[in-house]
């Protein structure tokens, strides 16, 4: 078997490649990243998907963080910020963005997967710039402009996910030319071919979808309202990045409510329903189980009635639910205080994870789970 370290003569000692990979599988992310810079052979050996995925599971589990996208109501150069909150201790820090913001810029925190974060920026001409950012290595990859600029659309949504069992990823741009269009359009950027594909129209009743998504394996999930208003959602829209197939899974009547969210619980896609009724407030959790590639079964998991009013479920951290307590002060949009809690079910317990107040009004635009890693961008 070939060794990773080259030998200069027959008496030079060397270790087999599998032994070297076993040893490097025990080092942390930063050390592994430095080892990749030794030479091309080390770099290619340490960038194989099987090795990287196992290493990511071993070393990223205890370093999970919550990324909070904060928008400040005052129009300044620092009108946006990303705050990283340690998911175990609640310690927080403000991240330096990989590009310079001005008063004409705006950005969106799209998602995070395998250590890489996707961001979209909009300049003064309303053109979208997409970049992939690794927080651990500070590496940044700027993607070319999408085929359809935001100036030509009224709805512009992005999603970021990896292809199954590879280090290749895709960025999906979903858009509508007019708000009353009956269908949405989409285009995909593939890291392997490094280009945006021609735009396509989504099949099915996809009039209005939520900008927040959940991805698992080769599927992307959105909440679909199926109409021109953002009332109770009617279905979950699913897209396969492998065969470009769209399908709709109707939400059971018992699960429909004004407040809802899609979350990832271990390996399951879950739909959370939490009707905001002062007299009776509860959280219901449903699991979407795949029967076939275009058919899903809805199974109720459990309901919790001890959750307080104004606690919005955001995502699962292991088996605990991260809830946002947001005291709204103006128009149900802006606030001056953000409180995050971790809630467990059996027995039901709640503990504060993060609390922060600001002198000016802010808006929490998005919160995602981030696990550091050294997957290539």
C-alpha span between 38 and 274 (Å, rounded): 52
Residue 11 belongs to some domain of the structure: no
Same domain? For 351 and 318 the reply is yes
What average pLDDT does this structure show over 262-266?
A: 88
Same domain? For 194 and 126 the reply is yes
Residue 4 confidence (pLDDT): 46
Same domain? For 27 and 67 the reply is no
C-alpha span between 86 and 67 (Å, rounded): 9
Same domain? For 281 and 318 the reply is yes
Give me 221's structure tokens.
């999930």
163 burial type by CB count under 10 A (0-12 exposed, 13-18 middle, 19+ buried): middle
Decide if 311 contacts 281 (C-beta within 8 A). no
Residue 10 belongs to some domain of the structure: no
Residue 9 belongs to some domain of the structure: no
Residue 260 confidence (pLDDT): 86
Residue 125 confidence (pLDDT): 57
Contacts of 76 (CB under 8 A, 6+ apart): 103
Looking at beta carbons, which pairs linking 264-269 to residues 24 or more positions away fall under 8 Å? 264/214, 264/216, 264/315, 264/316, 265/316, 265/319, 266/316, 266/318, 266/319, 267/216, 269/214, 269/216, 269/219, 269/221
Q: Which of 2-6, 143-147, 301-305 has the least mean pLDDT?
A: 2-6
Residue 3 confidence (pLDDT): 45
Residue 3 belongs to some domain of the structure: no
Residue 89 has pLDDT above 80, yes or no: yes
- Provide the domain count of the chain: 2
Residue 197 belongs to some domain of the structure: yes
Residue 149 has pLDDT above 80, yes or no: no
The domain that holds 307 is classified in CATH as 2.120.10.80
Dihedral angle of Cα 43, 44, 47, 48, to the nearest 10 degrees = -160
Same domain? For 102 and 222 the reply is yes
Same domain? For 166 and 301 the reply is yes
Residue 354 belongs to some domain of the structure: yes
pLDDT tens, residue by residue, 162-187: 999 999 999 999 988 777 777 788 99
Residue 152 has pLDDT above 90, yes or no: no
The percent helix, strand, coil of the chain (3-state, each to 5) is: 10, 45, 40
C-alpha span between 373 and 33 (Å, rounded): 9
Residue 242 has pLDDT above 80, yes or no: yes
Higher-confidence residue: 301 or 280?
301
Q: Which of 122-126, 222-226, 295-299 has the highest mean pLDDT?
A: 295-299
Same domain? For 37 and 128 the reply is no
Residue 330 belongs to some domain of the structure: yes
Same domain? For 33 and 156 the reply is no
Percent pLDDT > 70 in the chain is: 81
Give me 75's structure tokens.
């129009």
pLDDT tens, residue by residue, 322-358: 888 765 554 456 788 888 988 876 666 778 899 888 8
What domain range is 40 assigned to?
17-46
Residue 280 belongs to some domain of the structure: yes
Residue 151 confidence (pLDDT): 47
Whole-number average pLDDT of the chain: 81
Same domain? For 36 and 164 the reply is no
Same domain? For 32 and 135 the reply is no
Residue 278 has pLDDT above 80, yes or no: no
Residue 98 confidence (pLDDT): 84
Same domain? For 33 and 104 the reply is no
Give me 168's structure tokens.
């290749």
pTM over 0.85: yes
Q: Can you tell me which residue has the tokens 């609390």?
A: 355
Higher-confidence residue: 230 or 10?
230
Chain Cα centroid distance, residue 111:
3
Same domain? For 37 and 153 the reply is no
């Amino acid at each position: 078997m070939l060794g990773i370290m080259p030998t200069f003569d027959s008496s030079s000692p060397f270790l087999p490649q599998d032994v070297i990979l076993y040893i490097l599988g025990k080092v942390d992310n930063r050390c592994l990243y430095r080892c990749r810079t030794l030479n091309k052979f080390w770099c290619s050996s340490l960038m194989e998907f099987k090795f990287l995925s196992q290493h990511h599971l071993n070393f990223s589990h205890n370093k999970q963080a919550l990324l909070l996208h904060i928008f400040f109501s005052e129009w300044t150069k620092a009108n946006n910020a990303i705050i990283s909150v340690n998911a175990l201790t609640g310690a927080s820090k403000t991240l330096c963005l990989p590009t310079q913001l001005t008063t004409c810029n705006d950005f969106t925190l799209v998602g995070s997967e395998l250590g890489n974060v996707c961001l979209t920026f909009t300049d003064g001409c309303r053109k979208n710039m997409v970049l992939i950012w690794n927080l651990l290595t500070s590496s940044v990859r700027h993607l070319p402009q999408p085929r359809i600029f935001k100036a030509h659309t009224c709805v512009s949504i992005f999603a970021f996910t990896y292809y199954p069992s590879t280090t290749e990823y895709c960025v999906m741009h979903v858009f509508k030319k007019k708000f009353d269009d009956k269908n949405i359009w989409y285009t995909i950027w593939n890291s392997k071919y490094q280009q945006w594909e021609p735009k396509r129209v989504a099949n099915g009743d996809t009039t209005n979808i939520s900008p927040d998504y959940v991805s698992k394996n080769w599927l992307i999930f959105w909440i679909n309202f199926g109409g021109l208003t953002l009332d109770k959602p009617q279905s979950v829209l699913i897209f396969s990045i492998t065969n470009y197939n769209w399908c709709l899974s109707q939400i059971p009547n018992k699960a429909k409510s004004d407040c809802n969210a899609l979350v990832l619980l271990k390996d399951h896609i879950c739909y959370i329903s939490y009707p905001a009724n002062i007299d009776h407030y509860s959280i219901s959790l449903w699991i979407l189980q795949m029967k076939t590639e275009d058919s899903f079964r809805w199974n109720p998991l459990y309901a919790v009635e001890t959750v307080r009013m104004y606690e919005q479920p955001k995502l699962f951290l292991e088996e605990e639910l991260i809830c946002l307590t947001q005291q709204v002060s103006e128009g149900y949009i802006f606030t001056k205080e953000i409180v995050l809690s971790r809630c467990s079910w059996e027995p039901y317990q709640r503990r504060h994870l993060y609390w922060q107040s600001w002198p000016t009004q802010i808006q929490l635009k998005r919160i995602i789970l981030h696990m550091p890693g050294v997957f290539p961008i």
